[in-house]
Structure 1
Amino acid sequence: MHRKINFVLMFCAAVLTTISVSAQKAYWAAPDDSVALKLIAMDKMWSESNCSPQPGLKEVFAEEFQGTATNGTRYGKEYAMTSDVTNLDRQCKLGDVKIQFFGDNVAIAYGNESSIHKGADGKEYKRCLVWTDTWMKRDGKWQIIAAQDNVVECPK
Protein backbone atom coordinates (compact mmCIF):
# COMPACT_ATOMS: atom_id res chain seq x y z
CA MET A 1 0.00 0.00 0.00
CA HIS A 2 2.79 2.41 0.91
CA ARG A 3 4.51 1.66 -2.39
CA LYS A 4 1.36 2.63 -4.28
CA ILE A 5 1.05 5.88 -2.36
CA ASN A 6 4.73 6.68 -2.88
CA PHE A 7 4.43 5.91 -6.57
CA VAL A 8 1.34 8.11 -6.95
CA LEU A 9 3.03 10.97 -5.07
CA MET A 10 6.19 10.69 -7.18
CA PHE A 11 4.13 10.53 -10.36
CA CYS A 12 2.12 13.62 -9.38
CA ALA A 13 5.31 15.53 -8.52
CA ALA A 14 6.82 14.62 -11.90
CA VAL A 15 3.68 15.70 -13.76
CA LEU A 16 3.48 19.02 -11.90
CA THR A 17 7.15 19.73 -12.53
CA THR A 18 6.74 18.97 -16.23
CA ILE A 19 3.69 21.19 -16.49
CA SER A 20 5.38 24.13 -14.77
CA VAL A 21 8.50 23.84 -16.95
CA SER A 22 6.56 23.54 -20.19
CA ALA A 23 4.22 26.35 -19.19
CA GLN A 24 6.97 28.98 -19.33
CA LYS A 25 5.96 31.43 -22.02
CA ALA A 26 8.22 33.45 -24.25
CA TYR A 27 7.94 37.19 -23.79
CA TRP A 28 9.48 40.30 -25.32
CA ALA A 29 11.59 42.46 -23.04
CA ALA A 30 10.25 45.86 -22.08
CA PRO A 31 12.38 48.82 -23.27
CA ASP A 32 13.61 49.41 -19.71
CA ASP A 33 14.24 45.75 -18.79
CA SER A 34 17.60 45.75 -16.97
CA VAL A 35 18.65 42.30 -18.22
CA ALA A 36 17.76 43.15 -21.82
CA LEU A 37 19.71 46.42 -21.57
CA LYS A 38 22.73 44.48 -20.28
CA LEU A 39 22.50 41.97 -23.15
CA ILE A 40 22.19 44.79 -25.69
CA ALA A 41 25.25 46.52 -24.18
CA MET A 42 27.26 43.31 -24.61
CA ASP A 43 25.98 42.91 -28.20
CA LYS A 44 27.08 46.51 -28.82
CA MET A 45 30.56 45.70 -27.51
CA TRP A 46 30.76 42.80 -29.96
CA SER A 47 29.55 44.89 -32.91
CA GLU A 48 32.11 47.59 -32.04
CA SER A 49 34.91 45.01 -32.11
CA ASN A 50 34.85 45.41 -35.91
CA CYS A 51 36.08 48.99 -35.40
CA SER A 52 38.37 48.59 -32.38
CA PRO A 53 39.52 45.73 -30.14
CA GLN A 54 37.19 45.07 -27.18
CA PRO A 55 39.09 43.33 -24.36
CA GLY A 56 35.87 42.61 -22.42
CA LEU A 57 34.57 40.21 -25.07
CA LYS A 58 36.12 37.17 -23.39
CA GLU A 59 33.33 37.18 -20.80
CA VAL A 60 30.57 37.62 -23.42
CA PHE A 61 31.02 34.24 -25.12
CA ALA A 62 30.48 30.79 -23.63
CA GLU A 63 33.36 28.35 -24.05
CA GLU A 64 31.26 26.18 -26.39
CA PHE A 65 30.04 29.17 -28.47
CA GLN A 66 29.37 28.48 -32.16
CA GLY A 67 28.65 31.13 -34.76
CA THR A 68 27.74 31.10 -38.43
CA ALA A 69 29.50 33.78 -40.48
CA THR A 70 27.99 35.66 -43.40
CA ASN A 71 29.69 33.26 -45.83
CA GLY A 72 28.20 30.23 -44.09
CA THR A 73 31.33 29.06 -42.29
CA ARG A 74 31.19 28.20 -38.60
CA TYR A 75 33.49 29.72 -36.01
CA GLY A 76 34.16 29.43 -32.30
CA LYS A 77 34.81 31.71 -29.34
CA GLU A 78 38.42 32.55 -30.23
CA TYR A 79 37.48 33.84 -33.68
CA ALA A 80 34.48 35.76 -32.34
CA MET A 81 36.71 37.64 -29.89
CA THR A 82 39.40 38.51 -32.45
CA SER A 83 39.59 41.92 -34.12
CA ASP A 84 41.63 42.18 -37.33
CA VAL A 85 43.62 45.27 -36.32
CA THR A 86 45.14 45.48 -39.82
CA ASN A 87 41.72 45.91 -41.45
CA LEU A 88 39.34 47.56 -38.97
CA ASP A 89 35.97 48.90 -40.07
CA ARG A 90 34.89 52.49 -39.42
CA GLN A 91 31.66 54.00 -38.10
CA CYS A 92 30.36 50.89 -36.37
CA LYS A 93 26.73 51.46 -35.45
CA LEU A 94 24.43 49.13 -33.59
CA GLY A 95 20.88 49.41 -34.88
CA ASP A 96 17.65 48.17 -33.39
CA VAL A 97 17.90 45.17 -31.04
CA LYS A 98 14.91 43.27 -29.64
CA ILE A 99 15.24 40.71 -26.86
CA GLN A 100 12.86 37.80 -26.39
CA PHE A 101 13.13 35.73 -23.21
CA PHE A 102 12.32 32.03 -22.97
CA GLY A 103 12.06 31.41 -19.24
CA ASP A 104 14.69 32.74 -16.84
CA ASN A 105 17.84 31.42 -18.50
CA VAL A 106 17.50 31.76 -22.29
CA ALA A 107 17.13 34.85 -24.45
CA ILE A 108 17.32 35.56 -28.16
CA ALA A 109 18.58 38.92 -29.42
CA TYR A 110 17.41 39.97 -32.89
CA GLY A 111 19.42 42.93 -34.17
CA ASN A 112 21.16 44.80 -36.93
CA GLU A 113 24.33 46.82 -37.35
CA SER A 114 26.31 48.68 -39.96
CA SER A 115 29.87 49.82 -40.58
CA ILE A 116 32.14 51.13 -43.30
CA HIS A 117 34.00 48.01 -44.42
CA LYS A 118 36.98 47.59 -46.73
CA GLY A 119 36.44 44.87 -49.31
CA ALA A 120 39.05 42.50 -50.74
CA ASP A 121 39.53 44.99 -53.59
CA GLY A 122 40.54 47.71 -51.10
CA LYS A 123 37.42 49.79 -51.69
CA GLU A 124 35.26 50.90 -48.78
CA TYR A 125 31.52 50.35 -48.71
CA LYS A 126 28.73 50.45 -46.16
CA ARG A 127 28.09 46.94 -44.87
CA CYS A 128 24.83 46.08 -43.10
CA LEU A 129 24.17 42.93 -41.09
CA VAL A 130 21.15 41.42 -39.41
CA TRP A 131 21.83 38.81 -36.79
CA THR A 132 20.46 36.53 -34.13
CA ASP A 133 22.34 35.85 -30.89
CA THR A 134 21.28 33.13 -28.48
CA TRP A 135 22.04 33.94 -24.84
CA MET A 136 22.08 31.56 -21.89
CA LYS A 137 22.40 32.35 -18.20
CA ARG A 138 24.57 29.89 -16.29
CA ASP A 139 26.06 30.33 -12.84
CA GLY A 140 24.50 33.79 -12.72
CA LYS A 141 26.27 34.94 -15.90
CA TRP A 142 24.69 35.66 -19.30
CA GLN A 143 26.77 34.52 -22.29
CA ILE A 144 26.23 34.06 -26.02
CA ILE A 145 26.11 30.37 -26.94
CA ALA A 146 25.25 30.74 -30.65
CA ALA A 147 25.02 33.45 -33.31
CA GLN A 148 24.21 33.83 -36.97
CA ASP A 149 25.03 36.85 -39.14
CA ASN A 150 23.59 37.76 -42.53
CA VAL A 151 24.64 40.53 -44.91
CA VAL A 152 21.65 42.53 -46.12
CA GLU A 153 21.13 45.49 -48.40
CA CYS A 154 21.61 48.70 -46.45
CA PRO A 155 18.55 50.91 -46.08
CA LYS A 156 18.65 54.03 -48.22
Structure 2
Amino acid sequence: MAGRVFAHRAALRGWSRVSRASREGAWLGRRRYATKPPPRPSPSSQRPEESKGLVAAFYRTFGTPLLKSFLGALFTYQILYWGWLKLEAIEEQRNTEEEIQRLEQNLKDELKAKAAQNAQARDEATAVTAVSKAEETKEQASSLWSTIRRSVGL
Protein backbone atom coordinates (compact mmCIF):
# COMPACT_ATOMS: atom_id res chain seq x y z
CA MET A 1 0.00 0.00 0.00
CA ALA A 2 2.82 2.40 0.80
CA GLY A 3 4.29 1.78 -2.68
CA ARG A 4 1.04 2.86 -4.29
CA VAL A 5 0.85 6.05 -2.28
CA PHE A 6 4.46 6.85 -3.15
CA ALA A 7 3.83 6.26 -6.86
CA HIS A 8 0.70 8.41 -6.71
CA ARG A 9 2.59 11.29 -5.07
CA ALA A 10 5.38 11.04 -7.67
CA ALA A 11 2.80 11.45 -10.40
CA LEU A 12 1.37 14.52 -8.66
CA ARG A 13 4.75 16.27 -8.41
CA GLY A 14 4.73 17.05 -12.12
CA TRP A 15 6.76 16.10 -15.13
CA SER A 16 9.62 18.45 -14.36
CA ARG A 17 10.83 16.34 -11.46
CA VAL A 18 10.07 13.00 -13.00
CA SER A 19 12.94 11.43 -14.90
CA ARG A 20 12.59 10.19 -18.43
CA ALA A 21 12.70 6.58 -17.32
CA SER A 22 9.82 7.14 -14.93
CA ARG A 23 7.85 8.96 -17.65
CA GLU A 24 8.33 6.07 -20.02
CA GLY A 25 7.44 3.74 -17.19
CA ALA A 26 4.29 5.76 -16.56
CA TRP A 27 3.31 5.35 -20.18
CA LEU A 28 4.05 1.66 -20.05
CA GLY A 29 2.07 1.50 -16.85
CA ARG A 30 -0.97 2.76 -18.68
CA ARG A 31 -0.63 -0.02 -21.27
CA ARG A 32 0.12 -2.58 -18.59
CA TYR A 33 -3.52 -3.35 -17.91
CA ALA A 34 -4.69 -3.26 -21.55
CA THR A 35 -6.22 -6.47 -22.83
CA LYS A 36 -5.15 -5.99 -26.47
CA PRO A 37 -1.63 -5.25 -27.69
CA PRO A 38 -1.06 -1.82 -29.30
CA PRO A 39 -1.81 -1.75 -33.03
CA ARG A 40 1.25 -2.09 -35.23
CA PRO A 41 1.64 0.34 -38.12
CA SER A 42 1.33 -1.09 -41.61
CA PRO A 43 4.57 -1.45 -43.62
CA SER A 44 3.41 1.03 -46.28
CA SER A 45 2.71 3.75 -43.73
CA GLN A 46 5.94 2.96 -41.89
CA ARG A 47 8.17 3.51 -44.93
CA PRO A 48 7.48 7.23 -45.44
CA GLU A 49 8.04 7.77 -41.74
CA GLU A 50 11.32 5.90 -41.95
CA SER A 51 12.43 7.82 -45.02
CA LYS A 52 11.25 11.04 -43.44
CA GLY A 53 13.15 10.10 -40.35
CA LEU A 54 16.25 9.34 -42.39
CA VAL A 55 16.05 12.64 -44.24
CA ALA A 56 15.42 14.50 -41.04
CA ALA A 57 18.30 12.68 -39.37
CA PHE A 58 20.57 13.49 -42.31
CA TYR A 59 19.75 17.21 -42.21
CA ARG A 60 19.90 17.23 -38.42
CA THR A 61 23.42 15.84 -38.65
CA PHE A 62 24.74 17.57 -41.78
CA GLY A 63 22.44 20.60 -42.12
CA THR A 64 24.67 23.07 -40.32
CA PRO A 65 27.89 22.07 -42.15
CA LEU A 66 26.07 22.15 -45.48
CA LEU A 67 24.64 25.58 -44.72
CA LYS A 68 28.05 26.87 -43.63
CA SER A 69 29.66 25.52 -46.80
CA PHE A 70 26.96 27.05 -48.98
CA LEU A 71 27.17 30.43 -47.26
CA GLY A 72 30.98 30.33 -47.44
CA ALA A 73 30.83 29.65 -51.18
CA LEU A 74 28.27 32.41 -51.66
CA PHE A 75 30.40 34.87 -49.67
CA THR A 76 33.50 33.91 -51.67
CA TYR A 77 31.60 34.36 -54.93
CA GLN A 78 30.37 37.79 -53.85
CA ILE A 79 33.90 38.91 -52.92
CA LEU A 80 35.30 37.70 -56.25
CA TYR A 81 32.44 39.34 -58.16
CA TRP A 82 32.97 42.65 -56.34
CA GLY A 83 36.71 42.51 -57.08
CA TRP A 84 36.06 41.75 -60.72
CA LEU A 85 33.64 44.67 -60.99
CA LYS A 86 36.18 46.96 -59.35
CA LEU A 87 38.85 45.91 -61.85
CA GLU A 88 36.42 46.38 -64.73
CA ALA A 89 35.63 49.91 -63.53
CA ILE A 90 39.34 50.75 -63.29
CA GLU A 91 39.98 49.36 -66.76
CA GLU A 92 37.05 51.29 -68.20
CA GLN A 93 38.28 54.50 -66.57
CA ARG A 94 41.79 54.01 -68.00
CA ASN A 95 40.38 53.31 -71.46
CA THR A 96 38.30 56.48 -71.26
CA GLU A 97 41.29 58.56 -70.14
CA GLU A 98 43.45 57.14 -72.95
CA GLU A 99 40.75 57.92 -75.51
CA ILE A 100 40.42 61.48 -74.19
CA GLN A 101 44.20 61.98 -74.42
CA ARG A 102 44.24 60.57 -77.95
CA LEU A 103 41.40 62.86 -79.03
CA GLU A 104 43.07 65.88 -77.42
CA GLN A 105 46.29 65.08 -79.30
CA ASN A 106 44.35 64.75 -82.57
CA LEU A 107 42.70 68.11 -81.90
CA LYS A 108 46.08 69.78 -81.21
CA ASP A 109 47.51 68.30 -84.42
CA GLU A 110 44.51 69.50 -86.43
CA LEU A 111 44.75 73.00 -84.91
CA LYS A 112 48.47 73.16 -85.74
CA ALA A 113 47.76 72.04 -89.31
CA LYS A 114 44.98 74.61 -89.62
CA ALA A 115 47.24 77.37 -88.23
CA ALA A 116 50.00 76.39 -90.67
CA GLN A 117 47.51 76.39 -93.53
CA ASN A 118 46.21 79.82 -92.48
CA ALA A 119 49.78 81.15 -92.22
CA GLN A 120 50.57 79.82 -95.68
CA ALA A 121 47.40 81.35 -97.10
CA ARG A 122 48.22 84.64 -95.39
CA ASP A 123 51.77 84.54 -96.80
CA GLU A 124 50.39 83.84 -100.26
CA ALA A 125 47.90 86.66 -99.88
CA THR A 126 50.69 88.96 -98.73
CA ALA A 127 52.83 87.90 -101.69
CA VAL A 128 49.95 88.45 -104.11
CA THR A 129 49.27 91.84 -102.53
CA ALA A 130 52.94 92.74 -102.75
CA VAL A 131 53.06 91.74 -106.42
CA SER A 132 49.90 93.69 -107.19
CA LYS A 133 51.26 96.71 -105.32
CA ALA A 134 54.52 96.41 -107.23
CA GLU A 135 52.60 96.32 -110.48
CA GLU A 136 50.54 99.33 -109.38
CA THR A 137 53.71 101.16 -108.43
CA LYS A 138 55.24 100.23 -111.77
CA GLU A 139 52.17 101.49 -113.59
CA GLN A 140 52.19 104.68 -111.54
CA ALA A 141 55.89 105.15 -112.27
CA SER A 142 55.39 104.60 -115.98
CA SER A 143 52.45 107.02 -116.02
CA LEU A 144 54.56 109.51 -114.09
CA TRP A 145 57.38 109.13 -116.63
CA SER A 146 55.02 109.59 -119.47
CA THR A 147 53.69 112.77 -117.81
CA ILE A 148 57.22 114.06 -117.29
CA ARG A 149 58.16 113.30 -120.91
CA ARG A 150 55.17 115.16 -122.21
CA SER A 151 55.84 118.12 -120.06
CA VAL A 152 59.52 118.21 -121.00
CA GLY A 153 58.70 117.53 -124.58
CA LEU A 154 60.63 114.51 -125.25
Point out which structure has higher relative CO (alpha carbons under 8 A, 6+ apart).
Answer: 1
Normalising by structure 2, report the TM-score: 0.21
TM-score between both structures, scaled by the size of structure 1? 0.21
The structure with the largest helix share of the pair is 2
